[in-house]
Chain A
Amino acid sequence: MSTLANRPLLLQVPVAQPFIRLASLFVGEGCERLGLDETAAEKMALAAEEIVAYLVRAIPPGSEVAIRSLPGSYYVQTSFSFPLAETDLRALNMTATVNLEEEDGLEQMELLIASRMADRFLIARKVDGSSELTLIKEFSYPQLADAVVADLPATSPAGCTIREPDSGQIRWFLRLVNHCYPPSLYPKDFLYPGKVVDMAAAGDIRLLLAVGPAGEIGGGIAWRWDGQKMVEQFGPYCFSPHAPAEMASQLMDGCIQAIARSPALVLINRMPTPAMPAGYLEALGSLSSLEPGGSTSRLTALFRELHEDMGAVSWAHPELADFLAAEYRRLSLPREIRLLTADGEATSPSSVLSAEIDRRLGRVTLRPIWPGIDIRENLHNHLNLFRREGLKAIHFAIDLGISWQVACTPELHRLGFRAQLLLPHAGSGDLLLFELLPEPL
């Protein structure tokens, strides 16, 4: 793709009926130029049409919406920025249904359609009271065929060097990972080699491989950014049972050295393999995960900070104070815990939750996107849906750096969630993962 095509595309138009079609055309044509196929681009165009139509009804006349389409290595994202702080966005929940008999049914239908057209969405509230809704649509990639079996190195390659792979080596490495490791030890993206190659070419994921003198791949490690401060690591993967112990250490050293002078504050590995050498990472906590046979197991998350921890503030509901104090003490993390309860402040009527589902692992992770007084009902609806879909590992993540998110705590406890895993610097502040405990028999 040319440099020109990699630039963001921008349109700023009045929020008014005559401009709905223009916004739709802009997004559809733009997304196609930025790399989406025709069908995906049409979906984004429809989403744009529905969102601007919604805004025409929802925000004051004379306002403007800024639309920005931006290419990523494996996706295109389109953001809509508009001067609206409080609104009813409940249709963005994956559990949403719309009753057109209701007064606002049509508005909610517009949002419902828009959200279903995209693969993911984000909503951000700005300090100036405006909002930004972002839709993300990924390119389509073929999945690694189950039948493909990679040849394992017969013996552990001697004299491996640690190097960045080319696209062919990446694809072969992913076959080996899929062949040698259970799904709980690698991310879903590893099932799509073309996607990983595109991500690596753009720097969205980085890999290091241990390559023998004849080009044989003895092992590897991968990592990618998640937000501004966190790098998520996968591996180290060593394909031979006779792999020398230093191979994993060299891979770890290579990974840490590569990000040592980056903005990352923390390296987190939520899927550590048995090859993980001792002394590099610290244990955080564990969450449940589905194994291939249908049983569940616990996956321990590990982390290390990449710089001296200079301390931070963590917002917390009083019900979490003891847990957080104990965790911060155990991890020797300097944190000022600021307790917060609802003080009767105005809240939106409808909450919005995002859900990230990994069906391989029977896992869903919910995140609060927008606060609302209906949080209990909304959570309940989501849980019912996930149970119907057979998802066994249900997690809820709150960002302790965002004060309004901690208000969910009492409802989570009431529904059977328990705080399990603290991920330092994994959000605006630390990220706390709750897990839904199994119901008593």
Chain B
Amino acid sequence: MKAAGGNKTSIDRLVPDHIRNFTPYIPSKPDDVLMKMSGCSRLFRLNNNENPLGPPAAARRVIESYPTGRLSIYPSGDAYHLRARLSVLFGLHPDQFLVGNGANEVISFVIKAFCQEGDNIITGDKTFAVYEWVAMFSGFTAKLVPLKEFAFDDEGMLAEIDGRTKVLFLCNPNNPTGSYWSEQKLRRFLDRVAGRQIVVVDEAYCEFVDKGDFPDGMRLIAEYPNLVVFRTFSKMYGLAGLRIGYLAGALEVVDVIRRTCVVYSVNALAQEAALAALEDPDHVPATRELIGREKTRLCRALDGLGLPHVAGEGNFVMVRLPINDALAYRKMMTHGIMVRCMAGFRFPNWVRISISLPEVMERCVDTLAAVVAGDSATG
């Protein structure tokens, strides 16, 4: 009889250190389970920056009328039609786009394409975590530069570049602080990098920004061949459940990234819904109007509660609490309001609230007020 410990030992020896030391991300449980656990009868998710208006009407029609007979057929392996449409929209060649199963997948494509053992990436310390995670579980170092007044620190990032730096990740506007680099600042940064590294600008929330100095990364690709731009259909276009995002860059850069790209990873319905979403002229203005109005109301309410907040660009606001964020989360969950704890973003005692419909936001503010009033003395 073989000792069980022998098997365990064998598996242990197969696991690289960077995988052994990595934490698997635990996503939230489904709504029905969360409601049962928290004892609430309704759940309003204000934790993932989803669009409360859902997908554009044109995309809804595609989804609702999708013929089930086509489900047995593989999708276009490289999102042929969607890339063609994007090329027209942004004035680039179709081969300058790569479509992925959500923008998270294209992060992996880029890191795999350019990094090898001993290399590093650079990003902010308080930003979207996936750049850091993908680098770490792929065995590369993620150099984290502290934000400066809630914004990416250009000088700090430049100072961290060394001979093994391959990719710099900028989230513009930044999740969760909503800060952004102007076109002038981004250009200055790209000039200083001078093509020596790949610069990724993640524009997941760019459609929410209505500022004249906000850069359009797509337009800069022609001037900066080392620039790679990420976009997603999960936020403004309300297709988070279908998982579809893309990257764009210079032909020669995308040609390299394509070698690490898993074809057929984007399902057919997502491709068609995304294509339709781009054709809806009313969706973006309607969403911006709702987000702008409700964000202003939320900030006014937070001022009234005396809660410091950071409300930059994007469909979210970050709030500083007098109690710990995980406690606020649990207490708000008992009232059916789900916000995002910010300790995981390295902002202890902050929560991030996604902007939603007026009645949901009112309920959120009432709940937050009650939780803070009841527990500000705790601890």
Residues of A within 8 A of B (CB): 8, 10, 12, 60, 62-66, 68, 79-83, 126, 128, 130, 132, 252-253, 256-257, 260-263, 276, 278-283, 302, 304-311, 331-336
Contacts and interface: CB of A to CB of B under 8 A. Distances in A.
Contacts, number: 141
Given A68-B5, A283-B378, A306 B23 contact: no
Given A132-B4, A309-B330, 12 more contacts: A60-B1, A66-B9, A83-B3, A130-B5, A252-B348, A257-B346, A262-B23, A278-B322, A304-B326, A306-B326, A310-B26, A332-B333
Nearest to A258: B346
A336 B346 CA distance: 30
B331 interface: yes
B346 A278 contact: no
13 contacts: A10-B9, A12-B3, A64-B2, A130-B3, A130-B4, A132-B4, A252-B348, A253-B348, A281-B324, A306-B344, A308-B47, A311-B37, A332-B331
Given A64-B1, A260-B343, A310-B28, A334 B348 contact: no
Contact of A66 (B5, B38, B129): B5
A257 B144 CA distance: 12
B133 to A, nearest CB: 8
Interface in B96-143: 125, 129, 132-133
Contacts of A309: 326, 329-330
Contact of B1 (A63, A281, A331): A63
Central interface residue in A130, A260, A280, A310, by most chain B CB within 10 Å = A260
Contacts of B344: 260-261, 306-307
B34 interface: yes
Interface string B280-292: 0000000000000
Given A66-B9, A310-B26, A82 B3 contact: yes
A311 B1 contact: no
Interface of B: 1-6, 8-9, 12, 23, 26, 28-29, 33-34, 37-39, 47, 125, 129, 132-133, 321-324, 326-327, 329-331, 333-334, 338, 340-341, 343-346, 348-349, 376-379
B341 A282 contact: no
Given A81-B5, A126-B4, A260 B28 contact: no
Contact of A311 (B33, B132, B377): B33
B1 A333 contact: no
A364 B341 CA distance: 36
Contact of B4 (A128, A282, A311, A335): A128
Contacts of B125: 257
Given A308-B329, A309-B330, A332-B327, A64 B6 contact: yes
A77 to B, nearest CB: 13
B5 A132 contact: yes
A304 to B, nearest CB: 5
B23 A263 contact: yes
B8 A81 contact: yes
Contacts of A260: 343-346, 348
Nearest to A278: B379
* In the complex, the 4 A-B pairs of residues with the closest C-beta atoms, listed nearest first: A81-B5, A334-B37, A311-B37, A305-B326
Contacts of A82: 3, 5
A176 to B, nearest CB: 25
B346 A81 contact: no
B33 A261 contact: no
Nearest to A82: B3
A333 B330 CA distance: 7
Contacts of A83: 1-4
B348 A63 contact: no
Given A261-B23, A281-B324, A282-B327, A306 B343 contact: yes
Contacts of B129: 261
A276 B378 CA distance: 12
Central interface residue in A83, A252, A276, by most chain B CB within 10 Å = A83
B29 A257 contact: no
